[in-house]
Amino acid sequence: MAGDLDLPPPGPFLHSGLFRKRTIVEVHRCVQRLKSGEDVREVLDRLGDFVVDGQVLQQTSIAQEVKKFSNSSDAEIAQMSKDLRAQWKEDWLLREQAVKGFAERGGLDKRQSREMEEALFNSCCPLGFLDGEEKKVYTRQYKRLCTLLSASGPGSLAKRLKSQELMACQVPGMSDEELRSPEQQQQLVAARSEGLQGALLMRSDTAFAATEDYMCGKCSSQNCSRQEVQTGWHNDHQDATLFVHCLDCGHRWKESDDHGLAS
């Protein structure tokens, strides 16, 4: 019976974005093993190696079967059950937020938004897991695409997607220059020229720290600096406001907008 659990290692072979059918087959096998009540700990441990995304959850009963062990008398099994379901839910919610964000920013239909998110996920998370550095890259690239989708006018990314000049699945792998309209490129050059002097002054301001964690809403650059300013007191602690400055075009803003994506 244990031989039934001789599955391939995690990674591309069980990457649901690229090999979802294979993943679903293996997850169905795990469902049957859990129903039999044998080798439960081993099955739950193996499930942690699978990329269980929204489609896998919808096409299998794995979430319901795992939930049955959340109140197990075996504390380790109960915790494994809770951890698996919590991780699946967290990943599903994050990716659904990205789909919704693409639809809202670019006025895309649900199919296009989902295709774009899936392509983004596959490029940022090659092993299929949305955590660690891969999650940071996914979030950063999501914000980049939202900034580009928010632009309007002839040749804008949103218009090119609606006219099917571009396919949604192509977009995450394209550069900013390829996704901007000629007018946006001209505006970017002008903005960088206008902001150059101020940007150079800001580089010498030691109160600001260089960072690539933020994206300029004006030129999409990640060459920025940040500064935390104490703005008052609230509930016995001092409040801080984060200001970010683009070192390429000189644009300054208060950082608070994550484009609807939880981090």
Q: What is the pTM of this model?
A: 0.68
CA neighbours closer than 13 Å in the CB half-sphere of residue 48: 14
Tokens at 212, concatenated = 């690539």
- Answer yes or no: do 57 and 105 share one domain: yes
Q: Is residue 142 part of a domain?
A: yes
The last residue of one of the domains, among 173, 208, 240, is 173
Residue-range definition of the domain harbouring residue 227: 195-254
Residue 67, classified by CB atoms within 10 Å of its CB into exposed (0-12), middle (13-18) or buried (19+), is middle
Q: What is the pLDDT of residue 235?
A: 52
* Per-residue model confidence (pLDDT) at position 193: 63
Q: Which residues pair with 245 in a beta bridge?
A: 225, 252
Given this model, what pLDDT does residue 194 score? 59
Tokens found for residue 203: 């580089």
Backbone angles phi, psi at 187, to 5 degrees: -65, -35
Q: What's the CA gap between 224 and 210, in Å, rounded?
A: 6
Does 46 share its domain with 79? yes
pLDDT at 177 over 50: yes
Under the banding of pLDDT at 50, 70 and 90, the label for residue 181 is confident
Helix (H, G, I), strand (E, B), or coil: what is residue 216?
Answer: coil
Please indicate, yes or no, whether residues 165 and 199 belong to a single structural domain of this protein: no
pLDDT digits (tens, 9 = 90+) for 52-82: 989 899 999 999 999 999 999 999 999 999 9
pLDDT of residue 207: 53
105 part of a folded domain: yes
Q: Is residue 182 part of a domain?
A: no
Same domain, 139 and 233: no
Please provide the average confidence, as pLDDT, over all residues in the chain: 81
CATH number at residue 200: 2.20.25.10
| Same-domain check for residues 77 and 27 | yes
In a domain, 262, yes or no: no
- Over residues 88-141, the pLDDT tens digits come to 999 999 999 999 999 999 999 999 999 999 999 988 888 788 889 999 999 999
pLDDT for 19 beyond 90? no
- At 40-60, the pLDDT tens digits run 999 999 999 888 989 899 999
For the segment 158-185, the average pLDDT, to the nearest whole number, is 89
> Based on the domain organization, do 169 and 218 belong to the same domain?
no
**In terms of domains, do 127 and 229 share one?**
no
- Our count of domains for the chain comes to 2
Confirm whether 92 is domain-assigned: yes
> What φ, ψ does residue 140 adopt, rounded to 5°?
-65, -45
Query: Which is higher by pLDDT, 65 or 192?
Result: 65
Q: Are residues 130 and 45 in the same domain?
A: yes
